[in-house]
Structure 1
């Protein structure tokens, strides 16, 4: 229960004997692997992904990567699988595990609905307002933090300079803000704003990276994955740790989205209906590959989902959505219509800088 215990440890830092008002999400974030709570299913998915990643990379890079030994420390992988399943269970029942842990620590837990309605409502508002204020202050502090003097003379922050910042053990709040800003500047290569910090907190980098290699950076993907695979194999004397190897490979996810023809939804102003033939074909292909989608993208697809719902879930992996137009059509045959509106979030500028970096 390491992740849920972190919550209790954070709460315990307030030493005063005062009431603590908290809000806990029912579900946690950050499952491990494909999110499975079965150790057999989790380890099997890792093995299948590793073999597929090696085969796909060998074919795309026109090189033989079969020399890589993926059976590295099976006993450690077994232990990893057990721990990962515990974390996945906790994330699916996050609130329950957090509250159970607080009770075990001796806290008296009172649900907000059990308190006086007027008082409880005011407390909830105050907690939300305080939380938003603190988070907003943190975002602004990171964005306006000064670049450390050691790298102030350069517009670009090298990997070595950033590593030096990260390896500094004892840091003041100002130094932590400086490090975070340096990391974001190096990652996105644009001005660091409070909005960018918040987006990064929500996992924007992973989404943008997938979108970039699915489109503008597609020709550089094989080289990127090959370099990472060779680096891991060299560091491990031809042995790799499956979870890290799979996490670092993107070719399989991109090929999967290409096979599903996800980019067909990114044509502006084209109206999309669930009854369209192309949408029905898309759903059939997605349902047919639902286990592969779950394994590589950690997205659950079922026959019950509409074609639009499936498209929205997959587009969310690159932080895009279809916009609702309305219910159109003749009386008795009206159905929901959607269309794609290009995102005005600055990603085009980021992609341009990433492309320039690839071309250097």
Structure 2
């Protein structure tokens, strides 16, 4: 992420202007009165915190140690002798076995507790819309109430039977992947109306004002526009196509993406290295919708080894969800 406040502010403002232009295509009549300068001090504070976080991630170890010092912890530098002794201890099979057994036991307990919670959410009591609205306003909720609220929200999201597997997939970001995939493909005709409705809600809640980061984060038009520009949707249609770095359309995709790395980072949130290969770029975009690539084989091409890939279409029940969304 960016470590420049000015750069971050400018990129968010450019994205806002892009989103507004896309909304104008839907004849959205509230754009004339929109106030993007609302809470400028909050926007600046957001940028400062974001830059601070990004800088901390760039120097993760130093940031953690400094945070520990600020909390009052004493950081002791281990001597070379101590480090050497620890390495020798780790090399012993008995110590390694103990460590592995402990890690496995902890992982097992964590997994069991999580699965129990997912099952509890899936089997929570069905509540009515009125009950949900009242529950949502409550500041203090019991575990039972939290599970009932979560189950109702999952029903609103997916409109399919709620299972523990669905809870797990939702926790892993499945809804965001499905939304992007749906509005990029079978639900494309509803994208503009969807973004317009969200923008209308944001403007009503803010009485004509918007907080730029929230506004940009909620809309999908710009992200899908980038993916369409790079011809990602056509790649999904041919399930048997084999992909390789020397494909002309993939090379054009990579050329376009690398020429617009900064914009892609701002709009889609994908950071691309200057030497990213076409396959790497395709994989990064497919990951946004929960798709992946599998390597089929390796061939020789001009005395070099060339890997051949194919897109993996997940069998995760998403098209059942899409059918429900189309009927709304």
TM range (shorter): 0.7 to 0.9
The answer to whether the 8 Å contact 1:61/1:223 transfers is: no
Check if 1:232 corresponds to 2:232.
no
Check if 1:147 corresponds to 2:113.
no
Matched residue of 1:336: which SS? strand
- How far apart are 1:215 and its partner, in Å? 0.7
Which residue is 2:242 aligned to? 271
- How far apart are 1:72 and its partner, in Å? 0.9
Where does the alignment leave 5 or more consecutive residues of structure 1 unmatched?
1-34, 152-156
The answer to whether the 8 Å contact 1:327/1:334 transfers is: yes
Tell me: CA distance 1:236–1:339, structure 2 relative to 1, closer, same or farther (3 Å): same
What pairs with 1:1-360 in structure 2 (closer than 5 Å)? 35-61=1-27, 63=29, 65-94=31-60, 96-102=62-68, 104-106=71-73, 114=86, 116-117=89-90, 118=92, 119=95, 122-123=98-99, 125-145=101-121, 146-148=123-125, 151=127, 158=129, 160-266=130-236, 267-329=238-300, 332-357=303-328
Where does the alignment leave 5 or more consecutive residues of structure 2 unmatched?
none
Matches of 1:84 and 1:303, distance apart in 2 = 24
Matched residue of 1:323: which SS? strand
After superposition, what is the alpha-carbon deviation per residue over 1:314-348, rounded to whole angstroms, capped at 9, x for unaligned? Answer: 11111111211010246824410011232101111
Tell me: CA distance 1:124–1:161, structure 2 relative to 1, closer, same or farther (3 Å): farther
Tell me: CA distance 1:244–1:171, structure 2 relative to 1, closer, same or farther (3 Å): same
Tell me: CA distance 1:193–1:107, structure 2 relative to 1, closer, same or farther (3 Å): farther
Tell me: CA distance 1:62–1:180, structure 2 relative to 1, closer, same or farther (3 Å): closer
TM-score (norm 1): 0.79
User: Which structure 1 residue ranges, 4+ long, deviate > 6 Å from structure 2?
Assistant: 107-113
- How far apart are 1:95 and its partner, in Å? 5.4
After superposition, what is the alpha-carbon deviation per residue over 1:236-263, rounded to whole angstroms, capped at 9, x for unaligned? Answer: 2322111111111111111111111112
- Superposed CA RMSD in Å reads 2.7
